[in-house]
Amino acid sequence: MQYFSTNHRSASVSFRDAAIIGQPDDKGLYFPAELSTVSDEFLASLPELSNEEIAFNVMRPYVADSLPDDVLAEICTETVSFDFPLVALNENISVLELFHGPTLAFKDVGARFMSRCLEYFARDISKRPVVIVATSGDTGGAVANGFADADGVDVVILFPKGLVSRIQELQLTRCGSNVTPLEVNGNFDDCQRLAKTALADTDLGSKLFLTSANSINVARWLPQQIYYFLAVKQWKDVEPPVFSVPSGNFGNIAAAVLAYRSGLPVRSFVAACNANDVFTRFIRTGSFEAKPSVPTISNAMDIGDPSNFVRIVELFGGDTDKLRRMIASYSISDEETAETIRSVHDRFGYILDPHGAVAFAALTRHQEFFAEDKGIVVETAHPVKFDSVEKILGMKIEAPASILDLEKIPKWSIEIGTSYQTVKDILLSLES
C-alpha cells in the first residue's frame, strides 16, 4: 500500500515511511492510495471473531508491505487488549465505551498501535527518532503512556497551560523518562502550530528524525477504524446504526468514514461539535472557513482548524455534496452539554463525559428530524477525567487506581511561551 499527500506535491511512500515521516513536506496529510474493501464473509463473521482477529484483518491491507504478519498480529493484540463494550441506554441509543484502556480515552488505540510500529521501525533509523505531539487533552496522555520508556524513541508533548483537566494534566506531566511535556501559555491551535512548524523545519530534520503522533500520522489515524468494526460486531438491530462522534480534529470521524468506505454497514454519521463549529457551518453552507478556537467544557474538541477535514473530503473523492448527505453535524453549547450530562444520569443512571454528552445531544437532535434512525454515541473518555462532570452532577466520581497512582508522582513539565525557537532549542537538546 502506498500513501500520497492530500496536497499532491510530495512523493508517495510506504506505510513505514508515512508513519516515520508523519507529515509530507508539502504539509498535506498522508492518505492510502487504495481503500481496502472487506468481504461480506468477514462482515457476517464479526460476532464470532475475536477483537484481535478483527483488528488484524482490518489493518493488514494498509500495512502488509511494512510489517510482517507475526509482528502485526502482536501489535494488534496489544492494541485491543481491553474492552470496548456497547451499552444500550434505550431501544434507540447505545453508547460505545472507548475509555477502558490505560489512559481512559479512545486515543489509547491509535497511540498503542503507533508506538509499537515506531519502536519496530526505529531499529533501522540512523538519527534519533523524536515524536512530537500537540494535545488538547487526551492525545498526549495516550501517547505518553504508549511510548513510555520505548527503546530508542523520545517524545515531546505540547499542551495548553490551564486548558486541560486535572487528570489530563496528571497523565501529561507524570510520564516515562523519555517523555518531555511542554506546558504552553496559549491554546491548542498554538500547540498545533508549533508542532507543525517543527515537522516542516528542514534544519531540525537534518539533525533529528522528527515525526508526529497526532491523528495527522497514519499510524495513529488508521487503527481508529477498528473500534467501529467492534461496535457493529455487538450491534443487534437489523438496520445499520448512525454513529454520533465527538469531533475536534476530526481524525476519529474520518476513521469511522474510512471503515464505512471499506464496507462497514453504517446508516450515516453525526459530527458532534461544541462551540467550535467550523464543520457544522460547512455542512450547512458548503463553505469551510477556519476560525480561532474558543474554550469549552468539552476541551479536547476546542479546535478551530481541524487537520483531518482534508481526509474526510478525500474519502468522498472530493464530492462535498455527497459528504454533506452522509454526515450531519450539530453544534452543542456548554449549557446543553451540562444539561445532557444531568438528564442522562437522571434517566438512565449513566454518567457521560462532556464529549460524549455533546455526541448524545447531537444524536438526539438528529433523531428529531430522523426518528427512525437508531444510533451509537461514541463515548471517548472516562467522565472522571473532567472536573466539570462532578460539579454538574454534584457528586464524587470514583477515580480508577491508575489515576490514584499518578497522584503520588511529582509533576514535571517545562513551561514555555508560543515562540517556535524555544521549542526548537528543546528538541535540539535531545540530539545528544
Supply the residues annotated as catalytic. 107
- Which residues contact residue 130 at a Cβ distance below 8 angstroms, ignoring those fewer than 6 apart? 153, 154, 155, 156, 208, 209, 210, 211, 427, 430
Strand 93-97 versus strand 268-273 pairing type: unpaired
Residues facing 5 on adjacent strands: 30
Helix (H) or strand (E) holding 153: none
Tell me if 183 sits within 8 A of 414, measured CB to CB: yes
Q: How far apart are CA 74 and CA 126, in angstroms?
A: 25
Tell me if 108 sits within 8 A of 213, measured CB to CB: no
Dihedral over Cα of 184, 187, 191, 193: its sign = negative
Q: How far apart are CA 33 and CA 19, in angstroms?
A: 15
Tell me if 42 sits within 8 A of 259, measured CB to CB: no
Under DSSP, is residue 245 helix (H, G, I), strand (E, B) or coil? strand
Q: How far apart are CA 180 and CA 46, in angstroms?
A: 40
Q: Which three cell numbers stand for residue 182?
A: 511542554
